[in-house]
Chains A and B, each alone.
Chain A
Amino acid sequence: MTERFVTRGFVGRRQAPDAGQRIPPGQYLTNDFPVLSAGPTPHTPLAEWTFSIAGLVAQPISWTWDEFLALPAREFVVDISCVTKWTKLNTRWQGVSVDTLLEHVSLDRQAAFAVAWSDGGYTTNLPIADLLNGQAFVAYLYDGEPLAPAHGGPARLVVPHLYFWKSAKWVRGLRLLEHDEPGFWESFGYHNRGDPWKEERYSGD
């Protein structure tokens, strides 16, 4: 194997992870909020926007934007980690916990998995267990301001304990299933679950 050429004086913009337990392995700390996307920004008018829960539920449910904003919401301050190696600490959001949303439906006994789907066609899959107990929410404010379209506004899923590709931007609903259905990146070489603390980046990790 040929020796790799090292460029004199190049360090790259990463910072060494700070001491302590908050940066998952292989990640670097950023103070920016990088914009990542697999496609163009959707622009669904709020008058047409809905969030729905369907699939293995007794009765599907759907909220309009106004109805969604009327749901009990709270502020969340969480650390987020992207599989492209940046981690951002103490991100501040306002949104509705997925627990709150699921209170409005009656899950079938076999419902074990969810697919979060978004405007523009993006999907990501999670076990329902990863959406419960305060682990996930649908956010519409970031840092006190309406969530910018580039960051997934008007509303996105936020699941901070998994790599951020699971936090679907422009989310419009959850489909609850008996079986797991790999989403956009999970079906294309990325890990099915994506736990940053186990560095579950790629399938086979």
Chain B
Amino acid sequence: MTTTYQPDIEDLTLDANAVGGLLIEIFGTDMTAVLSQCAHCGNRGEVATLRAYVHAPGTVLRCGVCAQVVMRIMRTADGHYLVDARGAAYFRV
């Protein structure tokens, strides 16, 4: 039996560049360069700097500083997206 490389979660962690296409689908515009402020710790940065957890029942974007959830996205059975962006104090568009 071959030993499959088992990554740690830290290795699997991406950033929001990886969900750039999904964000365009949802927001209608490229969001990676958009500034957002974390509602938990106040850190401001481009959406691209949010850490993306894509190996999950949904996509979870977390603040790169405090690791709290900034946004969650999941796809329903009928093809809608649920978007919870309560973790963002704002997006500057």
Contacts and interface: CB of A to CB of B under 8 A. Distances in A.
Query: A interface, how many residues as a size bin?
Result: 20 to 34
B55 A36 contact: yes
A99 B9 CA distance: 31
Contacts of A33: 6
Nearest to B67: A40
Interface string A150-193: 10000000000000010000000000000000000100111000
B29 interface: no
Interface string A84-120: 1000000000000000000000000000000000000
A188 B82 contact: yes
A44 interface: no
Contacts of A34: 55
Most buried by B among A84, A150, A185, A189: A189
Contacts of B56: 36-38, 84
Contact of A39 (B4, B7, B58, B60): B60
A205 to B, nearest CB: 7
A190 B74 CA distance: 9
A34 B56 CA distance: 10
Contact of B53 (A38, A189, A190, A202): A38
Nearest to B59: A38
Given A185-B58, A188-B82, A189-B74, A35 B12 contact: yes
A38 B74 CA distance: 12
A32 B6 CA distance: 9
Given A35-B6, A150-B6, A188-B82, 5 more contacts: A35-B12, A39-B53, A84-B57, A202-B77, A205-B77
17 contacts: A35-B7, A35-B8, A35-B55, A36-B55, A37-B53, A38-B58, A40-B9, A40-B10, A84-B57, A121-B69, A149-B8, A150-B9, A185-B57, A188-B72, A188-B82, A189-B76, A190-B57
Interface of B: 4, 6-10, 12-13, 51, 53, 55-58, 60, 62, 67-69, 72, 74, 76-77, 82, 84
Interface of A: 32-41, 83-84, 121, 148-150, 165, 185, 188-190, 201-202, 204-205
